[in-house]
Structure 1
Amino acid sequence: MTDLKSVKSGLEARLAELEARAGRIEADLAEPLSADFEEQATEREDDEALEGQDALLGREIVAVKAALARVDDGTYGECTRCGEDVGEKRLEAVPEAALCINCAREVEQH
């Protein structure tokens, strides 16, 4: 059986790490562009990559917060789509997993 206290602690640590990374990316994106036009082109490319990373981090933050909410409301480990057990091994690998492996595969196919 899953130890919810350690799961919650791990999710909270992951959330803090993700939010710190997102904060650093947002600070980098807020930096003004260089006056040098060639340097600006490089900075814009870097900013595009950072924006992509920020979007991915944002989705992961949402998933971790949702997992924490499921821990709090007692539904952690239940598939949010079909209600079946997500599975101990899946939760060990992906603690924020909201879907059982079957539902996750179905969602990926669509």
Structure 2
Amino acid sequence: MNKKVLTELQQQLLARQSELSQRIAEVTTNITQEHSADWSEQAQERQNDEVLEEIGNESRHELQQIHHAIERINNGTYMLCSECGADINPERLKAVPYTDLCIKCASAAD
């Protein structure tokens, strides 16, 4: 993979990292807001909190994957499968820039 494409992928990862950090902050703010005094409103708010909590969990998980991908770029192992050590296809990295598995190992994991 040429340096330009690698730089573009790193910038894409950093932009997504920023988006996710902002989303997590917004979710945290929304969940910690005080609930209504009305019982029926509270029930709806608690359901909303559960949805927001799941969005936050998914965002944190993706953020961890992005941090790991950036570390791999910095230490020169970004294009190598963490399972078998083979090269990860550049097209796969463009599609899923935080992946650390080649298509063969990713298919085996499913």
Asked if these proteins are the same fold (TM beyond 0.5), I'd say: yes
* Displacement of 1:4: 2.1
Aligned counterparts of 2:59 and 2:68: Cα–Cα separation in 1: 14
Give the TM-score normalised by the residue count of structure 2: 0.93
TM alignment of 1:89-104, pairs within 5 A: 89-104=91-106
Identity of aligned residues (%): 37
**Residue ranges of structure 1 left out of the alignment (5+ in a row):** none
**Deviations 1:50-90 (CA, angstroms, capped at 9, x unpaired):** 11111100110000000000000000111111111111111
Aligned counterparts of 2:79 and 2:45: Cα–Cα separation in 1: 43
**Deviations 1:2-55 (CA, angstroms, capped at 9, x unpaired):** 422222111111100111111101110111111110000000100111111111
Amino acid corresponding to residue 70 of structure 1 in structure 2? R
Give the aligned partner of residue 35 of structure 1. 37
Give the TM-score normalised by the residue count of structure 1: 0.93
What secondary structure is seen at the aligned counterpart in 1 of 2:70?
A: helix
TM alignment of 1:2-21, pairs within 5 A: 2=2, 3-21=5-23
TM alignment of 1:1-110, pairs within 5 A: 1-2=1-2, 3-108=5-110
Amino acid corresponding to residue 79 of structure 1 in structure 2? C
* Displacement of 1:105: 1.5
Aligned counterparts of 2:25 and 2:49: Cα–Cα separation in 1: 14
